[in-house]
Amino acid sequence: MTRAPRIHVVGAGLSGLSAAVTLAGRGLKVILSEAAPQAGGRCRSYHDARLGMVIDNGNHLVLSGNVAVQRYLRAIGAEDRLAGPPHAEFPFLDLRDGTRWTLRPNDGVVPWWVLSAARRVPGTALRDYAALARLARRHPGKRIDEVLPCQGPLWERLLRPVLVSVLNTAPEEGSAELAGAVMRESLARGGAASRPLVATPSLDAAFIEPALAYLRGAGAEIRMGRRLRGLEIDGDRVAALDFADGAEPLGAQDRAILALPPWVVAPMLPGLAVPDSFRAIVNAHFRLAPPPGTPPITGVVGGVADWVFAFADRVSVTISAADHLLERDPDALLATLWEEVAVALNLPPEPSPGRIVKEKRATFAATPEQDMRRPPGRTAFANLALAGDWTATGLPATIEGALRSGETAAALALSGLLVAQNPL
């Protein structure tokens, strides 16, 4: 008698969790292996000894138009773990002259908000907003500076701050195609698809722990601290997964999904092109309860900080494309960022305890050249698929892209398998 097929998902970041949840939900036997002692990868929470509290490695913003995020949270029963305003609202501060404004795209698809000076960015005129429509078109292979004039008030006060966070790459050199894909799925669909949403109280509580609980409930095996070292190849199939704790042979019906970073996958699949240039993200976390009414996120222009996130027990600052800050002394950086936070949120100048977290290879560089190096989920091997925000999702390295790549890999693993559908 042949045994039921097993699907090995290697890597318990969001792409691996998405694949595992999708497959376990279809009644498949899933074995999830992860090298680190905890799941979550680049989207994780931990207890920070210096601050004496649980913090996230970095702030993560998703948008209400992120359909895979909604699907994933629904599947794991965590739809209530994202918080945000009922309508799209983005308060901003320009530190250079103290100007404050709130960008308020209207809910519907017809963008009448650009007609209202009160809803537009100060210093901009209606004609400037043609740039948004231009960006939302397809621009394969083009850099943003080939599509838009990267200057002027709309660029400095809206497009640059938004695009640097969307791409985690200096937007001038960023891919217009990837930026446009995000625009088409958010702002171009109106404010209702552009509401900012943040995991509360932590990334772990929203995206990770409920997924692990779901997988355990569905009978998946979850094995932390289990590192994949390589693959044993036999002709057109992977014969075994070579884990540090021993080889795992793959039966004829078994499948494997590698949901690993590109620099781990590349040596295992010689000849596969993968992104090889990365950008850092730096976060500063301050322990303090922000005053009631503090907006969940505030955009900061003209300083070091990009966005200030307010949680019930902490305030966190995100700086994208932050390679220039990697060598900065953490305490000096905390002092600079506290000054900006205090102005942005009207706080007293005495600093609160803080922690800098630097993620050196936070995402691949979202340039047209790097985008061309992203492989599809399907590989040359019939029983092996790839997942990860760096695979060819058509999106920049985001939670939405990571989750979709997991769904794609799950579909590839399922194809060819005669599997009884889970009636639930």
Ligand X SMILES: Cc1cc2nc3c(=O)[nH]c(=O)nc-3n(C[C@H](O)[C@H](O)[C@H](O)COP(=O)(O)OP(=O)(O)OC[C@H]3O[C@@H](n4cnc5c(N)ncnc54)[C@H](O)[C@@H]3O)c2cc1C
Least spacing, CB of residue 370 vs ligand X, in Å: 14
- Which one, of 131, 122, 66, lies nearest residue 93 by Cα? 122
Work out whether strand 255-258 and strand 6-10 pair parallel, antiparallel, or are unpaired. parallel
- Which one, of 91, 110, 57, lies nearest residue 301 by Cα? 91
Least spacing, CB of residue 398 vs ligand X, in Å: 3
Structure tokens, 269: 């699949």
Least spacing, CB of residue 29 vs ligand X, in Å: 19
Least spacing, CB of residue 118 vs ligand X, in Å: 28
Q: With respect to ligand X, which residue has the nearer C-beta, 124 or 318?
A: 318
Decide: residue 342, CB within 10 A, 0-12 exposed, 13-18 middle, 19+ buried. middle
Q: With respect to ligand X, which residue has the nearer C-beta, 124 or 186?
A: 186
Question: How many beta carbons lie within 10 A of that of residue 215, not counting itself?
Answer: 24
Distance from C-alpha of 122 to C-alpha of 142, rounded to nearest angstrom: 29
Q: With respect to ligand X, which residue has the nearer C-beta, 260 or 310?
A: 260
Note whether 240 and 232 are within 8 A (CB). yes
Q: How are strands ordered across the β-sheet holding 384-386?
A: 221-223, 29-33, 6-10, 255-258, 384-386
User: Under the rule (CB under 6 A), what is the footprint of ligand X?
Assistant: 10-16, 33-36, 41-43, 57-58, 60-62, 227-228, 259-261, 264, 281, 283, 359, 362-363, 388-389, 397-400, 402
Note whether 181 and 47 are within 8 A (CB). no
Give, in degrees to the nearest 5, the angle at Cα 9 between 5 and 10: 140
Least spacing, CB of residue 243 vs ligand X, in Å: 8
Q: With respect to ligand X, which residue has the nearer C-beta, 15 or 124?
A: 15
Q: With respect to ligand X, which residue has the nearer C-beta, 73 or 402?
A: 402
Least spacing, CB of residue 65 vs ligand X, in Å: 12
Q: With respect to ligand X, which residue has the nearer C-beta, 128 or 371?
A: 371
